[in-house]
Amino acid sequence: MFKSKTNKILAFTCSNHIVGDLYFAIMYPLLPYIAITYELNYTQTGLIKTVFDLGAALTQLPAGIISDRISEFWLIGGANLWVGIGVILMSLATTNIMFLGMSFITGIGGGVQHPVGARFVSRGSDPKSLFTSIGILNFSGDLGKIIAPIIVALLVVSFGWQKCLLFVGVTGIILVLGSMVTNLSISKSSNNANNIQ
């Protein structure tokens, strides 16, 4: 039972880590296209990514504190749904100011994945394979970063950056909801490590 739940926790957290890091990595290759659309200079373009990351940075510590009271399952899934919805809204922005504001709001959800995901996997892992599990978790995030520029290369030239963002947001939401539905059995794990086993 422990092994089964351990694998489910790892699979759920890794799949969400892929999506979460993809959300953030997608911005780098899209910035030149966004800059052209909104006629931004270099500083204004850089500000978009800064604001996006700032939203995530500000929620890292609160996310860790909140995970003492709320199941990591719901925090991770809910945060990635937040970012997915935000990415969709970013794709619909008609002005740079609107896009900048949505970037910050969207980024807020991105601060949950790393502190809460690492905690969830650490608590749910067999101590003998803890570091392997953490390594797999970290690697899964890198997969999201690898996939992001491939998606841009395939979509942006034919469909534009807005539709590329829309595709990523919708697809991410579907993947996160799928991971939550297929792993509902781990959602009832309280924040007591003994209850995961």
Q: Which residue has the tokens 């890091």?
A: 21
Tens digits of per-residue pLDDT, 112-134? 999 999 999 998 888 888 889 99
Residue 39 has pLDDT above 80, yes or no: yes
What does the pLDDT look like over 155-189, one tens digit per residue?
999 999 999 999 999 999 999 999 999 998 888 75
Cα separation, 124 vs 8, in Å, equals 9
**Scanning the structure block, which residue is given the tokens 């719901």?**
74
Lowest mean pLDDT among 40-44, 101-105, 121-125, 140-144: 121-125
Contact (CB, 8 A) for 113 and 72: no
The token duo for 82 is: 């937040």
The token duo for 135 is 């390594």
The answer, as to whether pTM is greater than 0.85, is yes
Average pLDDT, the chain: 91
Confidence at residue 8, expressed as pLDDT on a 0 to 100 scale:
92
| CA dist., res. 196 & res. 191, Å (int) | 8
Can you tell me the distance from the alpha carbon of 121 to that of 10, in angstroms, rounded to the nearest whole number? Answer: 6
Cβ atoms of 127 and 4 within 8 Å: the answer is: no
- Residue 146 confidence (pLDDT): 96
Angle between helices 130-182 and 27-38 in degrees, nearest 10 = 60
CA gap 37, 32 in Å, rounded = 9
At residue 194, does pLDDT exceed 80? no
Determine what percent of the chain falls in helix, strand and coil, rounding each to the nearest 5. 85, 0, 15
Closest CA to 80 of 14, 135, 160: 14
Say if CB 62 and CB 79 are below 8 A apart.
no
